Amino acid sequence: RVFIPTEVIVRVYILRGIDLQQVGNACNSYLAVKFFGGYPECFSTKERPVMKTDNPLYFEVFESRVRMPGGSVRIEVKDRMLPEVTVPLKLPWVTKIGNQRSFGLKDQDISLKTSTFGLGWSENIGETVVDLDNRWYNAAWRSL
């Protein structure tokens, strides 16, 4: 059977994640979706991760025009690592008692969130690839 090239609109709905397994603290998860054979090709929610939960609620929809045959979708769930850094500082201080002045250095720790400066990294939690050809050219899927 000859497959005639066709352009279709593909929508991917992602509602939530259940019991995401990540070593360490709770996840700051986000989604990365790539449509192979489609345009636009890539989507990401990296700028707005769902913070500090292993059961995130995404409620996202991604849409792309995909050329069939040969289309597929890769859905990745990633953990956005946004560490806090503690910076030790020595701050000068002055006290004045009468005509006497005392000088010294005071130790103080300042906590900085690296996300404020756009720093951090991502770790892959999981991914899946959906072969659109198996669905598009399958009579049982087309009848849905």
Q: What is the residue-level pLDDT of the chain in tens, covering all 144 positions?
A: 557 888 889 999 999 999 988 777 778 899 999 999 888 899 999 888 898 899 999 999 999 999 888 889 999 999 988 777 788 888 887 888 888 888 888 888 888 776 666 677 888 999 999 998 888 888 887 777
Q: What gap in Å lies between CA 112 and CA 83, rounded to an integer?
A: 9
* Residue (of 70, 83, 72) closest to 130 by Cα position: 72
Coil/strand/helix, residue 104: strand
pLDDT of amino acid 13:
96
**What is the full DSSP assignment across 11-59?**
EEEEEE--S---SSS---EEEEEEEETEES-EEE-TTS-B-S-SS-EEE
The whole-number pLDDT of residue 116 equals 62
Instruction: Count CB atoms within 10 A of the CB of residue 36.
Output: 16
Give phi and psi for 134, each to the nearest 5. Answer: -60, -30
The backbone region for 137, taken as left when phi is positive above 0, alpha when psi lies in -120 to 50, beta otherwise, is alpha
Q: What is the pTM of this model?
A: 0.72
Could you give the CA distance from residue 80 to residue 84 in angstroms, rounded to a whole number? Answer: 13
**Sign of the CA dihedral running 15, 32, 84, 21:** positive
